[in-house]
A and B are shown apart, each in its own frame.
Chain A
Amino acid sequence: MACIEPGGALSPSGVDMLKAMKEPMTAIEIAALSSQPVFKVRSSMRELVDAGLVTTDGERYSITGKGKEAIQDQ
């Protein structure tokens, strides 16, 4: 897993990406704001969508309420 540990905890890069998502963004925009390479953002977004922390319209990604809760204390 790129950004979610087997126990469900977010990795530091996963936290950085979620924190960067103040509004719906493309993978390239998230990469620029979180200092992660684009390939890693795309891979991580798949995991975060599967985990319900992020939604996507196919192009832009948005953090969900569950995603906001996940980074609340980070």
Chain B
Amino acid sequence: MEEMKEVREMPSLPRLGAPAPQFEAVTTHGTLKLEDYKGSWLILFSHPADFTPVCTTEFIGFAEIYPQLKEMNTELLGLSIDSVYSHIAWVRNIKEKMGVDIPFPVIADLNKDVATKYGMVMPGESDTETSRCVFIIDDKQIIRAMIYYPLTTGRNMDEILRTMQALQATDKNGIATPANWRPGDKVIVPPPKTAEMADKRVGEGYECSDWYFCKKEL
């Protein structure tokens, strides 16, 4: 008897610096395409399921940072493997019970199309739910950061906001940001790439611990 083999197509996962996978999806704000967000930064994030407590705290958290994100030309787009009716009911429930308006769209990814393209389902955790993934996509639709949290651990909104601030500061000023950087802190001057530039660096007026490790105010 011929052996039956299950063949599962495994799409390649998104990578930092690569174009974000395009999609068209039904959302609580109508049918949206990724290309609709061109010119804006986008935080695409998944949650395991509607009407669950950790996800509810996260949605409230995302709604709280949304005004700051808007000031940074950044939109939010949620996703889970639930129907659009479930999403609408849950968003209304959050408004009714918690008094928080959820202003951003949520993808109803019942066929897992977007979740598969972005590698949001972690079979080791669950085959039927998306894990807590965050994809920061820039205004040219390039993936700039990816953060993954397990089902049991709610995300840190402050870190998502801080990462956005760091990425935009890098793009604007051509710098890097040190550990635990916050806006207002000194930033890292990119290290010189030649011996000649290394000799020059120390006299350039930066705060240098050594030729490769210099900081400056923004």
Interface residues of A (CB under 8 A from B): 1-3, 28, 37-40, 42-44, 46-47
CB proximity of B140 to chain A, nearest CB, Å? 15
Q: Which residues of A contact B75 (CB under 8 A)?
A: 37, 39
Find residues 14-57 in chain B having any chain A CB closer than 8 Å to their own CB: 29-33, 35-37, 39-40
Determine if A2 and B39 form an interchain contact, defined as CB atoms under 8 angstroms apart: no
Taking a contact as CB atoms under 8 Å apart, the answer to whether B40 and A43 are in contact is no
Q: Is the CB of B32 within 8 A of A43?
A: yes
Q: Which residue of A lies closest to B37 (CB)?
A: A39
A-B contact count (CB 8 A): 35
Q: Are B33 and A43 within 8 A (Cβ)?
A: yes
| Interface pairs A-B: 5 shortest CB-CB | A2-B30, A39-B36, A42-B36, A39-B37, A43-B32
Q: Kindly state the interface size class of chain B when it binds its partner.
A: 10 to 19
> CB within 8 A of B29: which of A28, A38, A43, A46?
A43
* In the bound complex, CA of A2 to CA of B84 (Å): 13
- Are A28 and B39 closer than 8 Å at their CB atoms? yes
| One of B31, B37, B40 near A2 (C-beta < 8 A) | B31
CA separation between A1 and B32, bound complex, in Å?
A: 10
A47 to B31 alpha-carbon distance, docked (Å): 9
Contacting pair A44 B40 (CB below 8 A): no
List chain A residues, Cβ under 8 A from B35.
42
Q: What is the CA–CA distance of A46 and B35 in the complex, to the nearest angstrom? A: 12
Contact (Cβ within 8 A) A39 B32: yes
In the assembled complex, which residues on chain B have CB atoms less than 8 Å from the CB atom of A39?
Answer: 32, 36-37, 40, 75
Query: Given the complex of chains A and B, what is the CA–CA distance between A31 and B33 in angstroms?
Result: 17
Closest to B28 in A: A2
Complex contacts, A2 vs chain B, CB 8 Å: 29-32
Q: Are A40 and B30 in contact (CB under 8 A)?
A: yes
Closest Cβ neighbor of A39 among chain B residues: B36
Taking the nearest CB of chain B, how far is it from the CB of A14, in angstroms? Answer: 10
* Contact between A43 and B36, CB atoms less than 8 A apart: yes
Q: CB within 8 A of A38: which of B30, B31, B33, B40?
A: B40
Nearest-Cβ distance from residue A30 to partner chain B, whole angstroms: 13
Q: How far is the CA of A44 from the CA of B31 in the complex (A)?
A: 9
Docked complex Cα distance between A39 and B30 (Å): 11
Please, which residues of chain B bring their CB within 8 A of the CB of A47? 30-31
Q: Give the CA-CA distance A1 to B84 in the complex, in Å.
A: 11
Q: List 13 A-B contacts (CB under 8 A).
A: A2-B30, A2-B31, A38-B36, A38-B40, A39-B36, A39-B40, A40-B29, A42-B33, A42-B35, A43-B30, A43-B33, A44-B30, A47-B31
